[in-house]
Structure 1
Amino acid sequence: MDSVNEGNFLELVKYTAEQNELVSKVVLENAHRNNQMVSHKIQTDIVHCFTEEVIESIIKEVGHDVFCLLVDESADVPDKEQMTMVFRFVDSDGIVKERFVSLAHVKETSSLFLKSAVDSLFAKRGLIMKKLRGQCYGGASNMKSEFSGLRALVMLINFNEGYGTRRLPEKVEVKTKKGEIKIGKGLNQEVSFQRSGKTRWGSHYNTLLQLIDLFASIIKVLEFVEIGGSDGIKRRQANGLLKYFHTFDFVFYLQLMLLFLGITNNLSKVLRRKDHDILNAMSLVKSTKQQLYKIRDDGWESLINKVSSFCENYKIEVLVMDDEFDSKNSRKRSNITNLHHYKVDCFYTILDMQIQEFNDCFDEITLEHQLGLYIDNIREDERFSNLKDLGHLACMMVMTKKHLSHPQVYRL
């Protein structure tokens, strides 16, 4: 039977006309012949206008505040690669929202190409990277390689047909069968790692722990793909990862990230619990800051010893700290030592950034004073008597303007 449906656009126009007499007088057969809006080009233009209006309203809703970016990829029916982008943010009423903002066909899924698509969106919408507070990548694992110094950690090789788990090294295969390691399915999924696509510190921490545990097997997998990969791109990817995995630079960043993420892991778990104890959270914030200060004062030797030990175990060249630092991105002499680069430019700089972030977000002295007032104030307010969860509490604080009188508590 022939379908009576004339297409989604026309069906929507008909439905709108049936519901609204004013609309019915100016559309379809009641419209002028040159203004019936039934051509494909006109329909496309109208849909594009709707898209622009919706996205602009989302950008206004985000305002100039911080937000998270969620990126995923998939293939459409003709197997063309598509990249989707979603913003996650807290609106002016304290409600966490996720809003779809972009779907684009991409010619390739290399990190540079995907990064270019993100940059184009930010430039077009007047957004700045400084406001980006979290990144979540689903299938778009290539994008994860953009993390400076860790680009090789969360991107392995895509296995095409014929490269399944049955041909992985024994340790990887056994752990996969036991369910200890998740194997992604579909396009551009990591092999052998827990996916670190969530905006949570703990997911990245567990990925790096698995990387260390499986390092020897991962090297074998990459060597296998380098020689017998299904195409030149994957062989070159494997070759590039093998070279980077055997550098002091890689080992240093690996151990540095494990150190930082390990310190903040417990706090991360507490802050994301729906029933978390605010007093315990405040105490953990203070303890975490103290630990970061302690690491800054006394943690360098311990870190560099772990780096050296890992390098020795896997026959990776250990740099002489007093030698001049070799900057691959410059033809000029760096005029600084390896010790200065890794200790001052990396270790101290990242620690100071973390400590400053904690100080900016959580001033425990102010928080401690606010907390007592907050508890007494909330207990006396009947509007807070039937709260369901933390999200409901956050919305109620905004609704009653208490997020302005207790800003530190609200932020926590």
Structure 2
Amino acid sequence: MHVGGPNSSHNNAWRNCEALLNQKQHIETVISKQTNQDQIDYRTQLGASIGVSRILFQQGLPFRGHDESENSLNQGNFLKILWWLRHYNEGIKAVTLENAPENLKLTSPDIQKDISSAISYEIINAITSDINDSLFSILVDESRDKSSKEQMAIVLRYVDKGHVIERFVGIEHVADTKASSLKLAIDDFFSRHGLSISKLRGQGYDGASNMQEIGDLFTMVSSVVNVMVASSKRRDILREKHAHVVLEALENNELSSGQGLNQDTTLKRVLGITNDLSQALQKKDQDIVNAMNLINICKGRLQRMRESGWESLFDEVSSFCDKNRIKIPSMDDIFTSGERPNRKAHPITNVHHYRVDLFTDVIDEQLTQLNDRFTEKNTELLLCVACLSPNLKGISDLAQKMVGTKKDHTYPLVYLLLTLALILPVATASVERVFSAMNIVKNTLRNRMSDLWMNDCLVAYIEKDIFNSIEEEAIMQRFQNMKTRQGQLF
């Protein structure tokens, strides 16, 4: 075989052949290594952005600042937390912000919104997967946000292994609060998330209050509070006056000292008789049977107060007026309203006005509202369901026992009856909590939030337990599949 010198054509060709066959120096290998490293860096970078977003979503905090330039002192929460994270993690520091490619920093508002959409999608997907093919009910209410836009909140109520669960699944902007507009918004929501109307077994909508007198009372109280809070001087005068009254009452043994005392007040007696019912109806896992029992108890207490509660209330009010030097009109005198008298009106005494026109009418109004909403036939039917669980706390306990002992498969119709009773909406307290959260997320300083951005933020903020259970990999894959990205996950 002809070899020749070291620089002969043969030896040069042989060296080139060895270099070509050397996989470590192959151009595809070099490019592949570089691509793998880019993918690792991209995953680290995306994971950091998702981690920062988790913190801000769960706390209901804003992302952006007034000025996000490099030399700004008010870059916003997202960038500030990312800078802090880089300080304690060299791996994140090496691939983020100034060390990231100029067109792939993953910190822009669009990226933040895409991350929020991916998180919201995974949370809703987890809820709908949990419901699966089960029956459910829907709770709906509407309210205006900080930008005066009508928003409709949607909560789903369903039963999982005997447990009653209520989940917030979204908020929809509606042009008005007409029934047709709300129906279209609900239909659109069901269509987007693959929910079947055929599985819907109950609907709960919050109605306007008819208790105008009580509404006026709280409006007046609110006005008084605003007047006092507006001035530090008036607050100090009020505190000093109140402290003097308390000390005088303690010296006369008219007031017991100590913490946690349940002191009965006149306002509490008049309006607080339904407090137990109100508190119970606000529980997410409250079932309709237990609620009906509480309603019957409440109606009985109101009826007893109507029949025999006037004298004790009048004595308490009189005692309060005497102590505070308030003049009490004679109950036998003719009542005068201070307005121009009506010649055709029959004169009434003060006792008739206060006892019949006020005390009795307010109680009758509450009883009428309860009787109209919960008729005698419906109450009897639902209370019959309670006979299924005589030795348990409620039908929810019975449903859980059936699932635990696999009796739900043995007696499927009994379990179906329990499920239907459990998913019936009891109150819309869960929806009201959504609006409280909406005022935190979309506040005065963030009143220009888009509807989609607010919806995604609210879903993550309210459903924290599901959010915590979602793996970061699922969020990454959802984010990556939303659109074509310059970075690629390995």
* TM band (smaller chain): 0.3 to 0.5
Q: With the length of structure 2 as denominator, give the TM-score of the two structures.
A: 0.35
Q: Which has the higher contact order (CA 8 A, sep 6+)?
A: 2
User: Radius of gyration: which is bigger?
Assistant: 2
| TM-score normalized with structure 1 length | 0.40
